[in-house]
Structure 1
Amino acid sequence: MAVETHTPAAGHGEAGTTAEVAAHGGGEGGLPQFQFQYWGGQIVWLLLIFAVLYTLIAKVFTPRLRNILDTRAKTIADAVEQARTVQAEAEAQAKAAQAEVDEARAQARQLAAEAKAKAAAELAKSQAAEDERLKGQMAEAEARIRELRDAAMANVEAIAADTAQAIVEKLTGEKANAADISAALAKGAA
């Protein structure tokens, strides 16, 4: 094994020996990908890798992705259709419920009107009966009043006669005649 040594005489600023230059990749330098002699192999590998990737994408990944997207689209379309169906059913049920509520309200109004009419008829009937009862009581009261008035009027003549006799006696000092007082009262009543 031969070891090359640099001597201080050779200088530190020079590029080195030819063996060193050959050991580091030759004197041309640069990347091997850019060297023309390797391009043929690189193009073959490029085409081979492209063909493999194209086949994988076209035959494996794209169908799987398309299947997933189709399944997803079908699931979404089914869910939307189901939601529309449920919404249509809900709207139909809401309309039916509203119709039932309207019918119940109409029946309630009709029952209330019938009850009101029945109550009004019963009230009118009871009021008519009460009016008849009150008319009877009024007739009885008027008859009693007439009797009392007639009795009072009869007593009024006696009271007037007594009062007139007392006044005449006080004013004149003499007792008045009953026939004269009766004649005076009859004349005053006429």
Structure 2
Amino acid sequence: MPQIEQIAATLSSQVFWLLVFFGLTFVFVGLGMVPKIMGTVDLRDKQIAGDLAAAQTARDEATSEEEAWRKRENANRAAAQGVIGAAKAKAAAASSVKLAEAQTRLDGRLAEAETAIDAARTSAMAEIEAVAADAARDIVARVAGADVELAAAQAAVKEAMAHG
């Protein structure tokens, strides 16, 4: 068979060209494309690592800014509470002064009223004694037909009121 006899002659030629093309492919791909691809992968890995580092740095800065903001906010709250406390104390002091002034005015009015009441009471008691003395004289005159002096009637009324 002639086809089988040709295999030996063409096989070595085909193997040779196969090795040449595989070699060229290896050189082209292995030495030309793979380093470029690996360089791109390394560059991408470095860029990702840099981006992650930048993100972590930004996160740390944001955390420190937030911490500083919280401290300022707490200090501002404490200052506001101090201002509110001072305002309350000032208002309480002003109210105390106003209440003391009002109490002094009320005490003065009360003393005046008590004096007026005492004077009215004394005047009323004097009028009651005078009316009672006149009534006692009239009653004695009508009942007993005797005329009692005004001074005696007043003395009897005072004694009766003192015991009564």
1:91 Cα deviation (Å)? 1.1
Name the counterpart of 2:43.
Answer: 71
- TM norm structure 1: 0.72
- 1:49-76 superposed Cα distances (whole Å, 9 cap, x missing partner): 2101111121111011101101111111
Q: CA RMSD in A?
A: 2.7
* 2:160 alignment partner AA: G
Match of 2:85 among 95, 109, 113: 113
Q: Per-residue deviation at 1:177?
A: 3.7
Higher relative contact order (CA 8 A, sep 6+): 2
Deviations 1:117-141 (A, max 9, x none): 1111111122112111111111111
Unaligned runs of 5+ in 1: 1-25
Q: TM-score, structure 2 length as denominator?
A: 0.82
Q: How many residues align?
A: 159
* 1:1-190 superposed matches below 5 A: 35-164=7-136, 168=139, 172=143, 177=148, 179=150, 181-190=153-162
Relative to structure 1, is the Cα distance of residues 72 and 163 closer, same or farther in structure 2, using a 3 angstrom cutoff? farther
Please state whether the residue corresponding to 1:85 is helix, strand or coil.
Answer: helix
Identity of aligned residues (%): 30
Deviation at 1:163, TM superposition (A): 4.6
Distance 2:37 2:134 in 1: 136
Whether contact under 8 Å (2:133, 2:153) holds in the other structure is: yes
More off after superposition, 175-184 vs 152-161: 175-184
| AA at the equivalent of 1:93 | E
Compared with structure 1, are the counterparts of its residues 56 and 188 closer, same or farther at alpha carbon in structure 2 (3 Å cutoff)?
same
Letter in 2 for 1:64: K
